[in-house]
Structure 1
Amino acid sequence: MARKSKYNQSVTEENSVLKQRIYKVGVYRRLSVEDGEDEINNSIGNQKKIADDYVLHTPFLHIEKYYADNGYTGMNYKRPGFEEMMNDLYNGVIDTILVKDISRLGRHYILTSELVEKVFPSMKIRLICINDNYDSNEPNADSASLLLPIKMIMNDNYAKDYSKKIRSSINAKMGNGEFLPSAGSIPYGYIRNAEKVTFDIDEETAPVVRRIFEMRAAGMSFNEMAKVLNAEEIPSPGNIRYLRGITKNEKYAKSNWIRGTIRKITNDLVYTGCRIHGRVKRDRLDQNKTRRGQDEWQIIENAHNAIISMELFEQVKAVNEQEIKKRETFTKREEVEDDMRDVLRDKVFCGDCGSRMSGRKGLGRKTSNNPAFIFFDCNQYHDTGKMQCSSHYIRQEDIMSAISRCLYGHFKAALDFESLLEEVKRKPKVVSYQRQNLDLVASLRAKATHLEAKKERMIIDLAEGTLDKTEYEFIHNRLANQISQIQVELEEAQRATKELENIEKSAIEWIDMLKNQWYLKDGDIDKKLMDLLINKIIVYDKNTIKVEVNFSDPFAPLQEYIKNVEEVLADAV
């Protein structure tokens, strides 16, 4: 019996190590108020140290990126760091998530379970929870994962309990007048005085507030007021926050006064010295806020210095109520039969300034015989009191007609494409081209298999001494280069073979969308179908409309394919 070569054994072991996959790790860290007294142990910096130490002592892990969410609840996944990490997972930047423990990933039992048990396994993502002794790649991961649901339920209950405690504490402070919102939530006209737990009058903006109330009391419309303030270049609430560094959002760099902002100011009791809490409520950290009725608000009178008198506030309130009553006389009795505003929401844009165009109801007096209708106009024009851009007024039926014409044009093209595709697939040149590529793929695969077998034989020859190390390396490198070149040629041949198949696949999806989703439904469009088919509708002056669809027809790729086939076959002659 031949003696087993130690050299051959060492080569095999070395190759095994070289073939071991290196995992691209993303370290995720999170800290929020839910962590309470354990804030130091759970600090962002401490989580990083724990992760770094783990990777240092665990082979085949390489940290590609760190992600952090500081001050974000674990009861939902609306966190910038988490969203960035998930985006990197989808794009292949990382393939492994490393966390200190499962609570860093999230405290919501249902959402976190969905990630751990469904999302990550379907994406073939490795999850490591250091303090939970959990690694989804380990053989005992299934048994270890039995403990994770228990821990997640505990985390969920902990977060709910802590949420109740925080809410109770805040409610108590609100009742005693000891609660102040963050600086970004302080009403325009005031500044935050954290030391005295109150609002101080902002000498720069308070005069603007007084002037707004005085103009409204005199009967000036919100649009007219916006015109005046913008013409005088008085910073709006959003703009003043940007200028003072309270927000860095660039959209506020050139923020103008709009009617909605002015309306909100004229309806706010805070300017009479009242502190108001509880306008919105949220029962749990993972829930959205909902508005409360005024009878549910907590109103604390004389909580801070007033900017206007209660008498002036009541005058403005009377003007606002009178306008509402006046508008009621213009409201039609009947509703618009085909109100498509919800379907067209966030789809219609101004062709000049790029702003969204909102749908509004055209109203006639109750005594009028003219039916109500829906029209769209530029939000920039509407909100700035007609100071910027122009109306770009257009009726809803004109928009829907433009969409129908666009889709019908694509539908006719789709029918033509079906017959053209079948004709192309039967062309002798295309059949010959496809056959050549299939033969080439088979030939290249055979060559690659033959060369791989040679490489395997060389390892045996080296171990048995038939080849010395120098000869082995020379021949091995030459074969490796040949195999690499064949792989390039093989990929190109496979791409060419699949090209027509891919064109056909995209065409089938395109035709299905238009025929089955739209045409066979009598051309009716709901919100789901609108989002599927239409990217945006751009409205220019003089009722000119451009409809951008969410798909591209495959005529151009098919024509390019035919051209390539003819060129290849011509070169082969």
Structure 2
Amino acid sequence: MARKSRKADFVSTGRVEKPAIVTEEKMVFRAGLYARLSLESDANKERGTIENQMELLKKFVDGTNDIVVEREYMDVSKTGTNFERDGFEEMMRDIRDGRINCVIVKDLSRLGRNYVEAGNYVERVFPFFEVRFIAVTDGYDSSREGADLSVCMSNIFNEFYSRDLAKKIRASYRSNWKKGSNVCGNLAYGLMSDPMDGHRIIADPDTAPVVVRIFELFVNEKKGYAQIAKILNDDGVIGPKAYKHFKKTKELPGNYNPEWRGGTVSRMLSNSYYAGDSRHNHHGSDRFAEKKQWEEPEENWIIVEDTHEPIVPRVLYLKAQERLKEIHKNSRNYGKKNEGELSCRNFYKKKAVCGDCGASMYLIKSTSGAANFVCGGHLTKKGCSRKPISENALNDEVLRVIRIHMNVYVDSMEMLKRINRKAESMKKYDVLTKEVRNLHRELEKLAAHRQQLYEDYAERLIDAGQYEAFAEKDAAAEAELRKRISEVTEYQRKYDRNYCASRDWEAAINKYRNIRHLTQKMVDAFVEKIEIFSAGKVTVHLIYDDMLEELVAYTKEREEAGDGE
């Protein structure tokens, strides 16, 4: 008997009917999306590197019909040379618990850069747990017949080739440095590349006079760094960073600080470029992979004399170096390799700022030996004051705020867990669990239907127009299902007897809850920013403040609804 065509049924009803021939439903994988970033920097944050990885993985899943996203895992500022990472370990726990049976990464290096161990996970651990592994940009899928890990490994070899090429380029740079050629486009304030010869350095006619003035104020008038910065600010001279942007765009955006700082003046006074000498290899970097930078020891510097016309007379430059040495020699810490004392005791660095001008607060010692935080901009910014606050007073206030935060969190979580252990809440949790399970079944049916729809199109039982119409309808239904699953899962999670608002947040509180004194690690874990105002007024902003506000509001909502009775 010939097979009955379903084409007429599709056309007449205008909606998708169940296939006349029963086919085996295709398995739908519950995927964990894993992303890792080795080093979190301002540049990475601006580019949203970790978010871009996740976006790529989600787009990949959207293009499949047998994968649904169960969870997302991230490790930020974590090396790939070992597997002791919070996000990775959490993913492995979910694999062992059977919550996910598919792992998707951007490429093998995101799983780990210890490729022996990464290969062990891909070829032994994941298959043991019957977990599908996909490396998107490597084109590797363990469920595909004949999947070969050597594809990923070839990309690793390409990486090593690129790293070797980068070393050769740096060697070429060094060769040009020794010849006196300029191969750096980022020149110091007061200097520019010759428009006729990009390898030649010349004076910037707009800013070179400012550089000479700085040296003259320092040498001839014995002005200090902050005093020189204040003079330039009072005269309306915009600082180097703002000037660089202004020169390119001919406008000064609001997010740039045009003011001079004492530290900028100090660095300029020791810059040998102004005397006509080039200095290279001052900093080393691994720009290919981790984008790390470090300061090279002085013996590794490459200094080439008289590579360009000086903008500061050499005699004036040498006098400036003599005065700099004298200042350093008379410093309280001269000859000491940062013994530690103040640098190690300052837990805040750039997190503590002046509430009025926004400058960093610095920890300094007075002649009496007392340690105080003072505004770093009080000498260079009009209308600002020192705003001194003792080290102990600030530490006590920060610890007080953190402890209040932790206590409120613990109280709120205990209340929610008590509520969630009540019969009505447990019943609600079970209902939501069933709903999530049913929604996943609907998603699986939709995936099977999409597969059947394609087979019908391939067998010419429906035409292209019908296929596109039904496929578009399925895609809309899938998007709605995924949205509903996300909403219900989040709602269900809040009724869990072991409810956890955030694993990282909970881990930080459990770690420091019984610590009675402030530490650097505690500050790193909780503090986002500290604003210090006059009369010792302090405002402490914590990383989890918004989350705590939401948690308290939700707890109050559950209590008022009668769940807590």
Distance 1:188 1:425 in 2: 63
After TM superposition, give the deviation of residue 187 of structure 1 in Å: 2.2
After TM superposition, give the deviation of residue 489 of structure 1 in Å: 10
The structure 2 residue matched to 1:499, chosen from 494, 497, 500, is 494
Q: 2:51 is aligned with what amino acid?
A: N
Distance 1:89 1:236, change over 3 A: closer
The structure 2 residue matched to 1:90, chosen from 54, 62, 71, is 54
Are the equivalent residues in 2 in contact too, given 1:445–1:490 (CA < 8 A)? Answer: no
Are the equivalent residues in 1 in contact too, given 2:357–2:381 (CA < 8 A)? Answer: no
Q: 1:397 is aligned with what amino acid?
A: N
The structure 2 residue matched to 1:556, chosen from 550, 553, 558, is 553
Distance 2:134 2:172 in 1: 40
**Corresponding residue for 2:284?**
281
Deviations 1:34-74 (A, max 9, x none): xxxxxxxxxxxxxxxxxxxxxxxxxxxxxxxxxxxxxxxxx
Distance 1:547 1:234 in 2: 34
Residue 303 of structure 1 pairs with residue 317 of structure 2 = no
State the superposition RMSD in angstroms.
5.5
> Partner of 1:517: helix, strand, or coil?
helix
Deviations 1:212-256 (A, max 9, x none): 111111201111111111111123222221111179995774421
Distance 1:115 1:97 in 2: 30
The structure 2 residue matched to 1:127, chosen from 125, 136, 144, is 136
Distance 1:215 1:97, change over 3 A: farther
Moved more, 550-559 or 89-98: 89-98
After TM superposition, give the deviation of residue 290 of structure 1 in Å: 2.9
Deviations 1:127-149 (A, max 9, x none): 255xxxx4426613632x22431
Q: 1:95 is aligned with what amino acid?
A: F
Distance 2:44 2:151 in 1: 29
**Corresponding residue for 1:191?**
192
Distance 1:446 1:108 in 2: 33
Distance 1:187 1:431 in 2: 70
Deviations 1:140-185 (A, max 9, x none): 3632x224314522x2342233223212222221111223311xx2
After TM superposition, give the deviation of residue 327 of structure 1 in Å: 2.5
Residue 142 of structure 1 pairs with residue 150 of structure 2 = no
Are the equivalent residues in 1 in contact too, given 2:426–2:495 (CA < 8 A)? Answer: no
Distance 1:116 1:96, change over 3 A: farther
Distance 1:293 1:227 in 2: 33
Moved more, 211-220 or 233-242: 233-242
Distance 1:354 1:15 in 2: 69
Distance 1:421 1:221, change over 3 A: same
Moved more, 260-269 or 493-502: 493-502
> Partner of 2:5: helix, strand, or coil?
helix
After TM superposition, give the deviation of residue 561 of structure 1 in Å: 1.0
Are the equivalent residues in 1 in contact too, given 2:194–2:202 (CA < 8 A)? Answer: yes
Are the equivalent residues in 1 in contact too, given 2:215–2:269 (CA < 8 A)? Answer: yes
Residue 265 of structure 1 pairs with residue 268 of structure 2 = yes
Within a 5 Å distance, the mapping from 1:365-514 to structure 2 comes to 370-371=368-369, 373=371, 375-381=372-378, 385-387=380-382, 389-413=384-408, 416-417=411-412, 420=415, 424=419, 431-432=423-424, 435=427, 438=430, 498-501=493-496, 504-506=499-501, 513-514=508-509
Distance 2:273 2:440 in 1: 79
Moved more, 413-422 or 295-304: 413-422
Moved more, 82-91 or 194-203: 82-91
Distance 1:403 1:318, change over 3 A: same
Are the equivalent residues in 1 in contact too, given 2:189–2:240 (CA < 8 A)? Answer: yes
Deviations 1:280-304 (A, max 9, x none): 2347744633323444433332222
Are the equivalent residues in 1 in contact too, given 2:401–2:540 (CA < 8 A)? Answer: yes
Within a 5 Å distance, the mapping from 1:185-264 to structure 2 comes to 185-193=186-194, 195-196=196-197, 197-217=199-219, 218-245=221-248, 250=253, 253-264=256-267
Distance 1:324 1:245, change over 3 A: same
Distance 1:109 1:166, change over 3 A: farther
Aligned residues: percent identity?
18
Moved more, 104-113 or 335-344: 104-113
After TM superposition, give the deviation of residue 116 of structure 1 in Å: 8.8
Distance 1:225 1:110, change over 3 A: same
**Corresponding residue for 2:365?**
362
Are the equivalent residues in 2 in contact too, given 1:358–1:377 (CA < 8 A)? Answer: yes
The structure 2 residue matched to 1:352, chosen from 352, 356, 366, is 356
Distance 1:388 1:435, change over 3 A: same
> Partner of 1:501: helix, strand, or coil?
coil
Distance 1:526 1:399, change over 3 A: same
Q: 1:87 is aligned with what amino acid?
A: E
Distance 1:393 1:219 in 2: 27
Are the equivalent residues in 1 in contact too, given 2:351–2:528 (CA < 8 A)? Answer: yes
Distance 1:4 1:393 in 2: 92
After TM superposition, give the deviation of residue 272 of structure 1 in Å: 1.9
Are the equivalent residues in 2 in contact too, given 1:230–1:256 (CA < 8 A)? Answer: yes
Moved more, 402-411 or 504-513: 504-513
> Partner of 1:548: helix, strand, or coil?
strand
Distance 2:109 2:513 in 1: 46
Q: 1:292 is aligned with what amino acid?
A: E
**Corresponding residue for 1:468?**
none
Moved more, 225-234 or 530-539: 530-539
> Partner of 2:303: helix, strand, or coil?
strand
Q: 2:4 is aligned with what amino acid?
A: K
User: Of the two, which has the highest radius of gyration?
Assistant: 1
Distance 1:137 1:83, change over 3 A: farther
Distance 2:52 2:187 in 1: 37
Point out which structure has higher relative CO (alpha carbons under 8 A, 6+ apart): 2
Q: 2:374 is aligned with what amino acid?
A: D
Distance 1:279 1:299, change over 3 A: same
Are the equivalent residues in 1 in contact too, given 2:532–2:539 (CA < 8 A)? Answer: yes
Distance 2:482 2:107 in 1: 41
What is the TM-score normalised by the length of structure 2?
0.64
Distance 1:448 1:334 in 2: 60
Q: 2:191 is aligned with what amino acid?
A: Y
Distance 1:485 1:186 in 2: 54
In structure 1, the gaps of 5 or more residues are 22-74, 99-103, 365-369, 460-479
Residue 534 of structure 1 pairs with residue 527 of structure 2 = yes
Distance 1:215 1:410, change over 3 A: closer
The structure 1 residue matched to 2:538, chosen from 542, 545, 551, is 545
Distance 2:393 2:258 in 1: 31
Q: 1:204 is aligned with what amino acid?
A: D
Distance 1:288 1:123, change over 3 A: farther
> Partner of 1:303: helix, strand, or coil?
coil
Deviations 1:261-315 (A, max 9, x none): 2112211222222222222234774463332344443333222212222211122
Distance 1:214 1:207 in 2: 10
Distance 1:171 1:192 in 2: 19
Task: Give the length in aligned residue pairs.
Answer: 462
Are the equivalent residues in 2 in contact too, given 1:236–1:257 (CA < 8 A)? Answer: yes
Distance 1:490 1:442 in 2: 11
> Partner of 1:521: helix, strand, or coil?
coil
Distance 1:179 1:416, change over 3 A: closer
